Structure 1
Amino acid sequence: MKKEEMRKAAVLTAVFGVVSITLMLHRSATKHILITDAAEMPVSSVNSGKSFDLLIQKGESEDGKMKLIIPLAKSVSSEDIKLEDRYSDHELLIYVDCREEGFYGDNAIVSDNDILESAVCHTENDAGRVCLDFKLDGFYANESALTDHSTIEVEFFKPKERYDKVVLIDPEINTTFGGILSAAGLSENEVTLDVAQRLRSIAEKDVENKVKFFFTHMTDTDISDESKELLIKESCADMAVKIATSDSEDKDNNGIETYYNGTYFIRDLSNVRFADIVERSCADNTGNTALGIYECDESEALIKNSGVPSAKISLGYLTGNKDAEKLATGSYRQKAAEGIYQAILDGYKEME
């Protein structure tokens, strides 16, 4: 190899090394922690153990954004942190297994804004496992990152400041006897929450369409219809979808059916049209029978009172001699989630 070629190769190697180091440093400073919810991390322990007010230190954000900076013990990694948004309660819970008892009694949270109404630490054991409970003064979306300074940075913002497409999802919950409806012990809760989880996963992986989903709840604990209706307004949702199942004394009843709001006519995308899109998309994707669309009654408050395109999709009959087996499988639920997601994308196309 000639000297000139060797010199060029050395320069290129040096440049590549600098770029690689820069990228590694950037990634280490912006590692995203795992965003999770109550379905994966039970929150009944929030009220257990001792609780105390967190220390809050006033700080100013250099970029003018609303941020919360939470210190971490040196040994804490992203696997030790779980976040749960309780949008209906204007609350953010952060679970940290910091392995240092009393850590948050000595280390202050830095806040550069006045959106915090309260900040409480719930201790879950004597080994440093805690739940940091932040009560906000309104509805805020957030994005979180684990920095290389051993802190969690949580940025708060109003949904429409960051997202062009926002959808509210309401997994229906049957609280009677744990929601068990099928002869095999399959519950509506199990189906709807699982489909909601799958729907969220699909949306998070779709970087092209960038649809933001907010969920009324992700546990067996439901919230009031009034709170759900308020969430539509506070989240600035463009659409709302309730995920449900059906039941009947007749085991021969099987298939998908969808309900719409017959009260409001919405010019860009009518409720009837949206329900039809959801029905067809889910039926086509799952291969199940489309039973049709129907106007909902007064019992469906979320759909009935919604001022945005809304639909309730029943993914099948838990009591059906065909549907019960389908609803119990992960493959059927995945196809149902994909059907709902595609219907939402099709709905946005009609609204353009």
Structure 2
Amino acid sequence: MKKTTICCICFFVITMGTIIYLSVHKVVTIEGVAQDEVAGETIATGNESHALAFQPGEADSSYLRIPLPEGCKASDITIENHYMDQELWIYVPGGNEDFYRENVLSGNHQMINAGSFDLVQGGIVLNLQLTGICECRTILENENLYISFLTPREVYDRIVVIDPAYGGREEGAVRNGLKEKNVVLAVARALKEKLDGEDIKVYYTRMDNIYEDESDRIILGNGAKADMYIRIETACGEASEEYGIRALYNGTYFIPGFGNIELADTLEREVTVSVSGKAQGLLEEPDPNSVLYQLTIPAATIQVGYLSNAQEARLLSREDYIRRIADGIYQSIMTVYEMQEKNR
């Protein structure tokens, strides 16, 4: 009974102390918004960018300090982490053209290559160009925004990269009225609905009809040090009768324990079961320039059907079938994590 009472008193004291500290110092945490949660460019930038000035970094500082215009509230600030471009966008309401000429950024800016700002209606947009893939934690205190930059592994225990192939000007295969870039994007969007409910950080190379360079996709996968990298494609056979699910892997890079071929095998098995389809078998990626050959993490491509097959193309145009494919990829991811847990 004494122990319980003492614990309750300690908890009360710590809690009240924290509340008082936050009240006095006006500290507010702002949640960053990852790109996979942003529908396009939600922050409108101006036509002309101006360079931001930085004071020399402070060796003992773990934060970047960004001064804010008077009266700026946390609820008015918007932060977007555009990790495919390695940029952090911050919308700051208020201020004028001279504000960030007269008020420089200070503290730790080792993760920043350069910075600029645009004047927009109602405020300013800061664009911080980062040196790599990172997450950020933010605190608003006394009209200053403090940002600490962390590696994804410092923040998340489980990390997955989903790569819907092609996009934008790169359409992929075009057969039977379907474009590969649209089919694989639909699968990725359906998969996101499933993964959003899990304790997994998922980076998507694209969530819209845009083109991302293969080099940027590689940087994301390796930079995030993801547990697995899953590329989504369709297949296109020489014979129109060919159909089914196929997985590709890099056989030249061996990862002990769980690697490329194990991931490919899991993907093909789970997706085939989910769609009640035919397994085409595993295939070593024939293109030496493929993304798979540049990644140093477990990576595989799942080809979710043949656009060259008229019947399978009709299936790939149906929303319910797309969801079954997404269910199979989702189950693959969960199966991999269950396997890893058992082997620990």
**TM-score range normalised by the length of the shorter chain:** 0.7 to 0.9
2:47 alignment partner, SS class: coil
1:193 alignment partner, SS class: helix
Matched, 1:222 2:216: no
2: CA distance, partners of 1:145 / 1:113: 14
Find 1:193's aligned residue among 173, 185, 190. Answer: 185
**Equivalent residue, structure 1, for 2:51:** 53
Consecutive unaligned residues in structure 2, runs of 5 or more: 1-11
- Summarize the Cα distance change of 1:176–1:31 in structure 2 as closer, same or farther, 3 Å threshold: closer
- Summarize the Cα distance change of 1:330–1:33 in structure 2 as closer, same or farther, 3 Å threshold: farther
* Superposed displacement of residue 167, structure 1: 2.8
Contact 1:37 1:83 survives alignment (8 Å): no
* Superposed displacement of residue 142, structure 1: 0.8
**Equivalent residue, structure 2, for 1:233:** 222
Contact 2:249 2:261 survives alignment (8 Å): yes
* Superposed displacement of residue 110, structure 1: 4.9
Find 1:83's aligned residue among 76, 80, 100. Answer: 80
**Equivalent residue, structure 2, for 1:304:** 293
1:40 alignment partner, SS class: coil
Contact 1:71 1:109 survives alignment (8 Å): no
1:322 alignment partner, SS class: helix
Tell me which amino acid in the other structure corresponds to 1:279: E
* Superposed displacement of residue 279, structure 1: 1.0
Q: Structure 1 vs Structure 2: percent identity of aligned residues? A: 24
1:111-260 correspondence to structure 2 within 5 Å: 111-123=107-119, 125=120, 127-128=121-122, 131-136=125-130, 138-144=131-137, 147=140, 153-173=146-166, 178-179=171-172, 181-184=174-177, 186-207=178-199, 211-218=200-207, 220-225=210-215, 227-248=216-237, 250-260=239-249
1: CA distance, partners of 2:115 / 2:52: 6
Q: Deviations over 1:205-229 (max 9, x none)?
A: 313xxx333344455222134x544
- Summarize the Cα distance change of 1:65–1:77 in structure 2 as closer, same or farther, 3 Å threshold: closer
1:263 alignment partner, SS class: coil
Give the aligned CA root-mean-square deviation in angstroms. Answer: 4.1
1: CA distance, partners of 2:43 / 2:28: 33
**Equivalent residue, structure 2, for 1:6:** none
2: CA distance, partners of 1:290 / 1:325: 18
1: CA distance, partners of 2:185 / 2:69: 32
Q: Deviations over 1:63-117 (max 9, x none)?
A: x644454637857775873514234x5x223153737653655655454343222
Tell me which amino acid in the other structure corresponds to 1:94: W
**Equivalent residue, structure 2, for 1:12:** none
2: CA distance, partners of 1:150 / 1:335: 49
1:344 alignment partner, SS class: helix
Consecutive unaligned residues in structure 1, runs of 5 or more: 1-14
2: CA distance, partners of 1:204 / 1:139: 24
1:316 alignment partner, SS class: strand
Larger mean Cα displacement after TM superposition, 189-198 or 146-155: 146-155
Tell me which amino acid in the other structure corresponds to 1:191: V
2: CA distance, partners of 1:128 / 1:201: 34
2:256 alignment partner, SS class: coil
1: CA distance, partners of 2:179 / 2:79: 27
2: CA distance, partners of 1:156 / 1:73: 25
Runs of 4+ in 1 over 6 A off after TM superposition: 58-62, 148-151
Larger mean Cα displacement after TM superposition, 31-40 or 214-223: 31-40
**Equivalent residue, structure 2, for 1:333:** 322
- Summarize the Cα distance change of 1:230–1:250 in structure 2 as closer, same or farther, 3 Å threshold: same
**Equivalent residue, structure 1, for 2:89:** 94
1:314 alignment partner, SS class: strand
1: CA distance, partners of 2:320 / 2:251: 33
